[in-house]
Amino acid sequence: MKSSKRLPKITFDTIRYLILFGLLGGLFIHSFWKYGIMNQVIGFLLPKASAQVPFVSSSNGLIPDWSKMKFQDMIVSESGHVTYPTVRGNQTRIWQAGQSIGDFMELGDFEDANLNIEKLNLRAISQALAIDLDGLKLDDFGVIKTQTLSDLVKAIPELANQSASSVAPIADFFRQMGISTNQIIGNVANYYNLDNIPLGNEIDLSKYKLTSIPGIENSSFDEFANWQDTLISDIPGLKDLSWNNFPSVPEPDLSFVGQVDLPLGDIEANRIRSISGSYQEGFNVPCNQNNCAHFEASGLGKTTGAQWISGKVQKVKGGYGVLKVVNGGQEPTGRHPFGKSFKQVVWDIDESSGSVNTAMFFRICKTIFFVRTCTPYFIGPVPFINYHEKDPIIFGSPSSVPD
């Protein structure tokens, strides 16, 4: 009969330690989930809008310094894409994290934003940035690529009375069409059936100077057909033009202002005094979930204790028309103190330093089959203003606060 052997004492100690560590591990995992530590870790791993735009401080709130804001500097932290129907078939726009919004957003995306970018012309941009228009080619001006002869005459009326022989790209276009170059441009536009033939389909626009079409630099972008479909990056200098050079800059809505009082992290849950939301759901959307990171505001009347919820943790309905289904029909909760050009969203909250980082989110807008439509504000985050406790902040309208 074999004698039984006793296990070494170290084995029993190890077992006891394993049991202890198991219990502690279970408690940690429970706390990890229940008290939002997991959300904090996930938030740490996600891209942070940690930089900020230059701003001007006032008693009403921090206002972006529009003279230092450019499309080129607005860098998104998340990739995405949108596909939508057009009269020329489906179009897809794709963007990557780290890319400027000027590389993939179009003039028409800002048509409702009251920036009036479409009222700019090449002369104004070239003067602001000291661009030599003679050094550019016709195909550098993206809006020109889809213009027909009639479109050009409407956009640049002085062309109508000129002979085609004096305008090199149009003369070559006439030759391609078998039309005499001695004719007056306006007459050909009126009496020849050329309305479905863009110049760019028949001649190589890269062969001609931009200024080879006289007066092109003086016409505002909205004088050209289909100007809304032109990428910002396809307008020479527009990506680098500071917003204070736009015909209009976003006017802060000072109807509702307050202070950043108390930044609170992920442990907060079920907040009902919200002043954040969307155009579609209103701006008092409660946060009925376990994770409601936010900051509490202070100010007049019921403003004190009101909550602006982080868009990183709460999504709301957004968009309208056929494009409202993009991104599942959702956008980060937030507000619009600076108008429709972008949405201001509370993003990262740091209780220890008392700081609140906000971000800009943008949307795509199109007129599809004669109906205006926009996606939710989901393109971002683009770093915006960082606030600290007791900083004044502009909320904009509406000024309603839940009881």
In this predicted model, what pLDDT tens digit does every residue of 293-346 receive, in sequence order?
Answer: 999 999 998 999 999 999 999 999 999 999 999 999 999 999 999 999 999 999
**Confidence band of 5 (pLDDT split at 50, 70, 90):** very low
| Closest C-alpha to 102, from 242, 221, 263, 223 | 242
Spell out the residues 6+ positions from residue 269 whose beta carbon is closer than 8 angstroms to its own: 287, 289, 290, 291, 292
**Confidence band of 51 (pLDDT split at 50, 70, 90):** low
290: pLDDT strictly greater than 80: yes
pLDDT value of position 85: 78
Mean pLDDT of 165-177: 95
12: pLDDT strictly greater than 60: no
In this predicted model, what pLDDT tens digit does every residue of 360-389 receive, in sequence order?
Answer: 999 999 998 889 999 999 999 999 999 999
Mean pLDDT of 159-181: 95
pLDDT value of position 26: 44
Domain borders along the chain are 55-82+250-394, 118-245
Residue 214 · residue 169 · CB < 8 Å: no
Count CB neighbours of 401 within 10 A: 22
pTM for the structure as a whole: 0.84
Element (H, E) at 350: strand 343-350
9: pLDDT strictly greater than 80: no
**Confidence band of 268 (pLDDT split at 50, 70, 90):** confident
In this predicted model, what pLDDT tens digit does every residue of 295-306 receive, in sequence order?
Answer: 999 999 899 999
Cα(335)–Cα(397) distance, integer angstroms: 9
Mean pLDDT of 174-194: 94
In this predicted model, what pLDDT tens digit does every residue of 17-27 receive, in sequence order?
Answer: 444 444 444 44
Which tokens go with 56?
Answer: 């001007």
Cα(66)–Cα(56) distance, integer angstroms: 9
